[in-house]
Amino acid sequence: MTDVTHDANQKMIARDRATAALGITVHGYTPGNVSISMPIRDDMINGFDVTHGGYVFTLADTAFAIACNLNDNVTLAAGADITFLKATRKGQTLTATAEVRVQRGRSGIYDVRVTDETGDVVAEFRGRSRTTTMSTPTTA
């Protein structure tokens, strides 16, 4: 993958306060595909001393959002589901890799694989997208 170069994605990422607050880093982007990562911090740990599933979902959802926003029309999630396969802990780094599966008209299906730093699969996510008529905001 190459560096993030698509203007619409750059605008979206620059304005995404949640992504910044979670310490998510974009590693590479090609149209319909993206790789991002997030370090697991102490405040992301649940009562069982493992990563809260909501953070794993958020990482996958963020990869999905970047992958499906290919132009200046905003694309949003129409639905998504996730299967958790492995617990992770504070100090680990999770990587989410999104890939477009099907794009037809305003609808798309994307798969996201979340792995830990050893390459073990932590979760599998499937997102369904819908492109809107909303334009990408121009201010931060």
103 falls within a domain:
yes
Say if residue 5's pLDDT is above 90: no
Question: Strands 73-84 and 93-104, how do they pair?
Answer: unpaired
Give the global pTM: 0.89
Q: Which helix (H) or strand (E) holds 34?
A: strand 33-39
pLDDT band for 13, please (50, 70, 90 cuts): confident
d(Cα 111, Cα 60) in Å, to the nearest integer? Answer: 9
Domain that holds residue 82: 7-135
1 falls within a domain:
no
70 falls within a domain:
yes
Question: Strands 25-30 and 93-104, how do they pair?
Answer: unpaired
DSSP 20: H
What CATH number does the domain containing 78 carry?
A: 3.10.129.10
Residue 140 is predicted with a pLDDT of 54
Tally of domains in the chain: 1
Model pLDDT for residues 44-73, shown as the tens digit of each residue: 999 999 999 999 999 999 999 999 987 778
**Low-confidence winner among 34-38, 42-46, 131-135 (lowest mean pLDDT):** 131-135
2 falls within a domain:
no
